[in-house]
Amino acid sequence: MSANGESLPSRVWKVALVGARRGSSYGNLTHADPRFEIAALCDVNRDSLAAYQRAIGLPDARCFTDYGLLLGAGGFDAVIVCTPIPFHADQSVEAMDAGFHVMSEVTAANTVDGCARIVAAARRTGKTYMLAENTCHRPLFAEWRRLLESGRLGEPIYAEADYLHPIPQLLVNEETGQQTWRAQRPAIHYCSHSLGPVLMLTGDRIVRAMGIGAGTRILPEGGVGGIDVQVGVFETAHGAIIKMTRTQVAPRHRPIHYYHIQGTKGFVETDRLGPEPGRPIQRGLLYIKAEMDHTRQVEWPEVDPTYPEYATMGGHGTSDYHTLLRFLNALDRGTKADLDETRAWDMTMPGLIAAESAQNGGAWMDVPEA
């Protein structure tokens, strides 16, 4: 059964998993799903590689610490890229040029040039490229899509999409004091978890962006990744406004994604508490002017009960599993993925432009089209 409820004939797709840590989430799902086979594994960290190799029972000959050797060995159809963001562009492009389909973790790239090279490679090779933006596939957004498509909320005119997630221990090594790669990433770069669902639901794209935020009072040793708070404001092609707040260091427990969509006839939003541990329910508010006298409290599950038991093995409720199904459907059909290279650009580029804007005093800047 596909992610949209259709029955599809499916061959077994052989995948190479690149990055054994975050990659284990998708690895656990592909290992459990009979429509996939993990045919190769790659990680520069030998300990991580060996640990996950043992977990899935892969022979030594199919495990690599060198990405080039992995691609040269072949024996698979697609590469799932789950490495640090600075490697995404090179690894995605190299895989497509070598003849493989790609599902890449977010964000698509950490530079404008990297995004452009991914788009060019996908169009040049004809290979399926998909951005694994799992927040787009939380069950609550299926409900929000129905609300929007029914017209009950009217035309979307404003949205908020905040991601508040302190990770100071991932910016600076607590034992050595050395910065990690995340310290080189402005918080606002990591925008697809926030902007992705809004753009997916509205079918819109961002045409202008501005950003502010440069203070480093909380973690001054954290580089640009340690900027206290960054705020981006975005204008879409349909004339809507989106506001995004991002932090990687400001104290916040529980970390949250917050979403709000305001239409001409009402609004829907999540709460600012997030799902409780052990209770995978997202709460929120809904108001539709023609139907309600007051705002209503509502709840949405984080786990889709129609999926198999192993669907939660990737984490994030069943959104990782749904993400994998979207990739499977694109491979089966031989078509572009929903979140293809163009949508990957649309969901990544605004954060890069907003970060540049913040460096230039918050000036409005155009977001180019892919």
In this structure, whether the domain defined by 135-303+347-366 belongs to CATH 3.40.640.10 is answered with no
pLDDT value of residue 241: 98
* Residues of the chain below pLDDT 70: 1-10
Evaluate whether 242 touches 198 at the Cβ level (below 8 Å): yes
Name the segment(s) of the chain with CATH classification 3.30.360.10.
135-303+347-366
- Structure confidence at residue 10 (pLDDT): 61
What confidence tens digit (pLDDT) does each residue in 111-145 have?
Answer: 999 999 999 999 999 999 999 999 999 999 999 99
Question: What strand order describes the sheet that includes 156-164?
Answer: 296-301, 281-288, 266-270, 256-263, 156-164, 241-247, 230-236, 206-212, 365-366
- For 336-365, write each residue's pLDDT tens digit: 999 999 999 999 999 999 999 999 999 999
The pLDDT value recorded for residue 278 is 87
Residues near 301 by Cβ (< 8 Å), separated by ≥ 6?
139, 140, 280, 281, 282, 317
Long-range CB contacts for residues 267-271, cutoff 8 Å, separation at least 24: 267/153, 268/144, 268/147, 268/153, 269/160, 270/140
CA separation, residue 231 to residues 98, 354, 357, 359 (Å): 39, 9, 11, 12
User: Which residues in the chain are classed under CATH 3.40.50.720?
Assistant: 13-134+323-337
Nearest Cα residue to 199 out of 254, 253, 264, 244: 244
Q: Which two tokens stand for residue 251?
A: 């104290």
pLDDT of residue 3: 44
Check whether domain 13-134+323-337 has CATH 3.40.50.720, yes or no: yes
